[in-house]
Amino acid sequence: MPAGKLVLILAVVFAMAAITVAQQEPKKINARPGPVQPKDAGPTKAEPFDKADVKTMAAKCVRLETEAGNIELELYPEQAPETVRNFLNLTALGLYDTTTFSRVVPDFVIQGGNLATREGGFSADVGLRSRRTIPDEPNKIPHDRGVLSMARSDEPHSASTHFFILVSVAPDLDGKFSGFGRVTKGIEVVDAINKAPVVAERPDKPVRVRKAIVFDCVPQ
């Protein structure tokens, strides 16, 4: 048999063997998919904290200037870097300005960050930004009173812009949701928002965030 023909036959045999092995290789059970961006999300635009390292982000705090008073937050990028980066970007871009705490569960949480609640609606660009998702970053931060955490649906990696602040301890959330900060000032404001009248977790008069500001943390 000519050498060239023998080489061709061997190549075909090896290719068929590789396909058989691949077909027989067991698939991972309960494999968790990575974040999938909506098809209409468009190209990702550069944002202020896209290239910030953990040290830079840890030095930043956020102030929510609400109709009920100010809430100041410290952030933990060591535990949830992409969650903190997303929160800082949304704040620095002014996207949380004029949003409301649109969900309130008495004695449990207040939830904000819904860009659809902005005064005057939002542009197509803001609408697309609100659909951009981030990876889950469950960590060792306990969901205690005053902890800032990221809201999401039951689907993995579905967090986008919505966040919540706890008014009570919720250990059942530990390891499932991405805690990424804590209230340092204004917990009484959080309590006041939580105690306002609600119907089916919807506040009668949602408290609005007049402005959200990134500022340099003051060393304790």
Query: How many Å separate Cα 5 from the centre of its chain?
Result: 58
Where in the sequence is the domain holding 84, given as residue range(s)?
Answer: 54-216
List the one residue out of 218, 68, 97 whose CA is nearest residue 161. 97
Flag whether 37 is in a domain.
no
Flag whether 205 is in a domain.
yes
Flag whether 168 is in a domain.
yes
Distance CA 117, CA 101 (A): 9
Beta strand pairing status for 147-150 and 103-105?
A: unpaired
**What CATH number is attached to the domain comprising 86?**
2.40.100.10
How many structural domains is the chain composed of? 1
DSSP H or E run through 81: helix 81-92
In the structure encoding, which two tokens stand for residue 119, read together? 């005064």
Flag whether 21 is in a domain.
no
Phi and psi (nearest 5°) for 161? Answer: -125, -15
pLDDT string in tens for the chain (220-residue length): 555 444 444 444 444 544 444 444 344 333 334 444 554 555 578 999 999 999 999 999 999 999 999 999 999 999 999 999 999 999 999 999 999 999 999 999 999 999 999 998 889 999 999 999 999 999 999 999 999 999 999 999 999 999 999 999 999 999 999 999 999 999 999 999 999 999 999 999 999 999 999 999 998 6
Distance CA 141, CA 20 (A): 45
Measure the N-to-C terminal CA separation of the chain; round to a whole number of Å: 83
